[in-house]
């Protein structure tokens, strides 16, 4: 996961990103090796019960979002680790321009 996140950071930096926030929220929030990432990133390690879950810090000040490491929905045959948070509480998260 660290290599995947680093590759996304490097690509963002190469295209002009000035500030990068990373949310490590799966399980205990200790999935990414911070020392292997580019300097000056903001790494948030936690899981929350916030309605926006893994993207709770997003607001109108952000210009882009890269979602890395997400897996298939529960019972999907396309992923050996498919599972869903709680389909009765959350069906999808829609991101777009307001």
Q: Find the CATH number of the domain harbouring 13.
A: 3.40.50.10780
Distance CA(21)–CA(23), nearest Å, equals 7
pLDDT mean over 66-93 = 68
Q: How many domains does the chain have?
A: 1
**Cβ partners under 8 Å of residue 30, min gap 6:** 24, 45
Residue 25 and residue 50 in contact, taking contact as beta carbons nearer than 8 Å? no
Token reading at 86: 């709680």
Distance CA(47)–CA(62), nearest Å, equals 21
Give the residue from 53, 83, 68, 60 showing the smallest Cα distance to 22.
68
pLDDT mean over 86-92 = 61
**Cβ partners under 8 Å of residue 76, min gap 6:** 82
Domain range spanning residue 57? Answer: 1-98
**For residue 95, what pLDDT is reported?**
65
- Pairwise pLDDT comparison (42 vs 72), residue with the higher score: 42
Backbone angles phi and psi of 7, in degrees to 5? -60, -40
């Amino acid at each position: 996961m660290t290599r995947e996140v680093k590759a996304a950071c490097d690509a963002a930096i190469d295209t002009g990103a000035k500030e990068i926030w990373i949310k490590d929220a799966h399980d205990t929030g200790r999935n990414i090796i911070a020392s292997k990432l580019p300097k000056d990133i903001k790494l948030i390690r936690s899981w929350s019960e916030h309605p926006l879950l893994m993207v709770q810090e997003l607001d109108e000040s952000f210009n882009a979002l890269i979602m890395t490491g997400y897996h298939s929905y529960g019972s999907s045959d396309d992923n050996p680790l498919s599972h869903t948070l709680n389909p009765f509480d959350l069906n999808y998260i829609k991101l777009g321009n307001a």
